[in-house]
Amino acid sequence: MFAKHAGRSRRVRLLEKMPAFAELLAQLSFLAFTPSAVGVLITAGLLVVFLDWRISVFALACQTIFAGLLYSQVLPPQIAGVKVVVGLLICLQMLVTARQMGGNKPPAALPEGLRSAQKQSEGSEPSGSSLRSIVPTSLPFRIVAALMVAVIAWQGSLLPELALPEVSPNVALATIGLMALGLLGLGLTEEPLKAGMCLITVLTGFELYYAAVEPALAVIALLAAMDFAVALGACYLAVIRTLRAPDRKAAK
């Protein structure tokens, strides 16, 4: 009994030693400027370039964390933390959806980016064919398009006509870059899960700026609810899209 009590008190001490989110953000504040702005651009670029669901979800999760660091420039750290938690929950939602979709269908019937999902759910290692699924056939075009848009966003953020004086130059770069790359991604896909990720990217870019000009708690809560709703809609459509008539007959 004494040993059990000692173990519990050790756990409590460990929890007490764990930094609060605000402290964590303070420790990572050295990343909250240019590295985060570049980070969100790279992750948004990865979302545009790669179709594979694992790379996309990982990129979205990283983007959420980098965006959280940028949020800490315009919002109190606790609220920035809540934004990160909301973003990561959306990533989790998309991860579960992608895995479920992969398990439901034969690879040939899946969208290109999800073909490796079933192999993983079956526990096999990525093979040559799944590597082809990770690297899309239009890779060179996607890389060039993403680079062009990223450069245009970077140059645009430096133009006085497009200046966003309410936020720092890093946040302005992230805002314009996320929105531009998100729109590019939307233009390149009809797959709902991917489109949902691109929509979340566009919304993250907008919210980075809007949080600076309208930091009201109610608005931030509504925006978070809106992000959840968009992710829910996209995930639902992604699951429905994989259902085809033969499956329904088989299910019956």
Partner 1 sequence: MIVPLLMLAGPVVMSAPIYFLRRWTWARAIVAAATAAIFGLLALQIPLDQVAVFAGRDIKFESAWVVLGRQFVFADSDRPALAFIYLASMFFFAGAGATKAPRSLLTVGPVVLSLLAATIFVKPFLFAALFLEMIAALAALILADDHHPATRGALRLLVFVTLGVPFILLAGWQLEGVATSPDDPNLLIRATILLDIGLLILLAIVPFHSWIPTVADEASPFAAAFVFTVVQAAVIFFMLKFFSQYDWLRHNTAEFALLRLGGAAMVIAGGAFAFAQRRFGRLMGYAVIADIGAAMLALGLNTAEGLQAALAILAVRGIGLAVWGLGLSWLNADLPERNTSDFAALAGQAWQKPFAAVAVVLGGLSLAGFPLTAGFAARWALYRQLAVDDLTLALILLFASGSVALAYVRGLAALFRRVERVDNSLDEGPQEGQVAMVFLAIGIGAILLVGLFPQVLLPAVTRAAEAFGSLAQ
Among the listed residues 201, 204, 189, the one whose alpha carbon sits nearest the alpha carbon of residue 241: 189
Q: Is 230 in the site for partner 1 (CB under 8 A)?
A: yes
CB 62 within 8 A of CB 43: yes
CA dist., res. 145 & res. 59, Å (int)? 18
The single residue among 146, 174, 202, 208 that binds partner 1, judged by CB under 8 A, is 202
Q: Is 161 in the site for partner 1 (CB under 8 A)?
A: no
Annotate 173-207 with b (16+ C-beta within 10 A) or e (fewer).
bbbbbbbbbbbbbbebbebbbbbbbbbbbbbbbeb
Closest to partner 1 by CB, 119 vs 241, is 241
CA dist., res. 159 & res. 225, Å (int)? 33
DSSP state of 135: S
The single residue among 31, 109, 164, 232 that binds partner 1, judged by CB under 8 A, is 232
**At closest approach, how far in Å is the CB of 251 from partner 1?**
9
Q: Is 39 in the site for partner 1 (CB under 8 A)?
A: no
The single residue among 195, 197, 208, 211 that binds partner 1, judged by CB under 8 A, is 195
Q: Is 248 in the site for partner 1 (CB under 8 A)?
A: yes
Q: Is 108 in the site for partner 1 (CB under 8 A)?
A: no
Size of the site for partner 1 (CB under 8 A): 34
Among the listed residues 48, 42, 186, 56, the one whose alpha carbon sits nearest the alpha carbon of residue 117: 56
Q: Is 226 in the site for partner 1 (CB under 8 A)?
A: yes
Tell me the window of 1-9, 25-33, 141-149, 235-243 that interacts with partner 1 (CB under 8 A): 235-243
